[in-house]
Copies of this chain bind each other. A is one copy, B any other.
Amino acid sequence: MSGTTLDDYTDRYAARIGGMAQSEIRALFAVASRPEIVSLAGGNPYTAALPLPELADMFARLIRDQGTEALLYCPGQGSTRLREQICEVMADSGIDSTSGASPDDVVVTVGAQQGLDLLARVFCDPGDIVLAEGPTYVGALGVFSAAQATVVHVEMDADGLIPEALEAAIVASPRPPKLLYTVPTYQNPTGVTLSAPRRAEVLDICARHGVLVIEDDPYGMLGFEGDPPRPLRADTGDGVFYLGTFSKIFAAGLRVGWVLAPPAVRDKLVMASEAQILCPSALTQAAVTEYLATMPWRQQVKAFQVLYRERRDALLESLADYMPQDMTWTRPGGGLFVWADLPPGIHSKKMLPAALTQRVAYVPGTGFYANGDGGGQMRLNFSFPSADRIREGVRRLAGVVTTTAELRDTFAR
């Protein structure tokens, strides 16, 4: 980006702009995408595994046969056919008609990100309190910051959100929290999954205290050690809004996601979405419809699972092989990420320049907290780089960690 740094508009901006800051992750991506750098920083699914020649034919057919419609505006709620198919996809993980899910209650969005932003628009006034895992998805921090809501983190462990910590956070809150935002399955950034017994507890606590739940589930179908627990939404339609996306099970570049919400809320989401984008792309929706209807999409999800499992194993094995003894990390059963605790006294954000110099990138843990925590942690991605690149990246990173630990010890003397 070029241009003057003078800002002639400083006295004109809306108040909400004050809290907005560029995501550390996005700023990092520009550097991390250089070819000489092994990037464990990304969050990209591995699109090269998609059957491109077949998809090319599919798109050609779509434009030839349905182009007149696919190149036009469509209803703000999204196409009827796609909303039906979304219900079929959700039924695979247990959210079906017995859970009260219906195509009428689905709103198609520009990725799950827009779904989350719409929920924040509909529910969050400035000053509202939103609970979220600590750490949480960086994009959720952006949404709630733009809504001028305050994010309060709730502690988690290897089984996800700690119910006692959740209840304590609600009780200690200066005003009743309005929402819990949670990624219960193969969470970004930790890879951790909320256990089945805790799911019931979390739902119970939120219901008792009148806290609405946003369940963000982009990774639920990407498990590689058996099925994850049922989504929260599968067992209650009451006060749980469910976010889904085709970004990880098909293609992120289409920007097709959805919200499942009860009728009154759904109407407001549709109005808010029309004000925001008029309607989602008819073309990318039609592409998802064709893909689900004519191609072996479940088989493709299995292929992603096999691939990511192999890469996760490469990451876990090389961490064990190369990293110092006093470092620990999560062991995800699915998803795209591992979360690592650095040896004491090492700050992940301060260490990043050294890592980039050694041609390896990660995301410092601070990006996933609203309150500056996370300096002792980092997020490592295993979905995009090959197993060999992952091993090489961890080898380089271990060198940086070891050197940084030696420097720490030198200056501590």
Q: Residues of A with Cβ closer than 8 Å to B?
A: 1-10, 12-17, 20-23, 26, 29-30, 43-45, 47-48, 50, 52-53, 55-57, 59-64, 67-77, 102, 104-105, 110-111, 113-114, 117, 121-125, 128, 139, 142-143, 145-147, 178, 212, 238-239, 247, 251-255, 262-268, 271-272, 274-284, 287
**A8, B262: Cβ atoms under 8 Å?**
yes
Chain B minimum-CB-distance residue to A63: B56
**A4-B263, A146-B121, A276-B113 are contacts. A67–B44 as well, Cβ < 8 Å?**
no
**B275, A142: Cβ atoms under 8 Å?**
yes
- Interface secondary structure of A, over-half rule: helix
**A253, B13: Cβ atoms under 8 Å?**
no
Can you name 20 A-B pairs with beta carbons within 8 Å?
A3-B262, A3-B263, A5-B264, A12-B123, A12-B212, A15-B125, A17-B122, A43-B73, A44-B72, A44-B73, A47-B72, A53-B64, A56-B59, A56-B60, A57-B60, A59-B63, A72-B252, A146-B275, A252-B282, A283-B287
A268 to B142, CA, bound (A): 12
Q: Tell which of A61, A64, A276 has the most Cβ of chain B within 10 Å.
A: A276
**A271, B47: Cβ atoms under 8 Å?**
no
Chain B minimum-CB-distance residue to A275: B142
**A26-B76, A121-B14 are contacts. A3–B252 as well, Cβ < 8 Å?**
no
Q: Tell which of A14, A26, A53, A110 has the most Cβ of chain B within 10 Å.
A: A14
**A123, B276: Cβ atoms under 8 Å?**
no
**A63, B72: Cβ atoms under 8 Å?**
no
Further 8 A-B residue pairs, CB within 8 A, beyond A3-B104, A13-B122, A29-B75: A26-B274, A53-B64, A139-B278, A253-B281, A253-B283, A255-B279, A281-B284, A283-B284
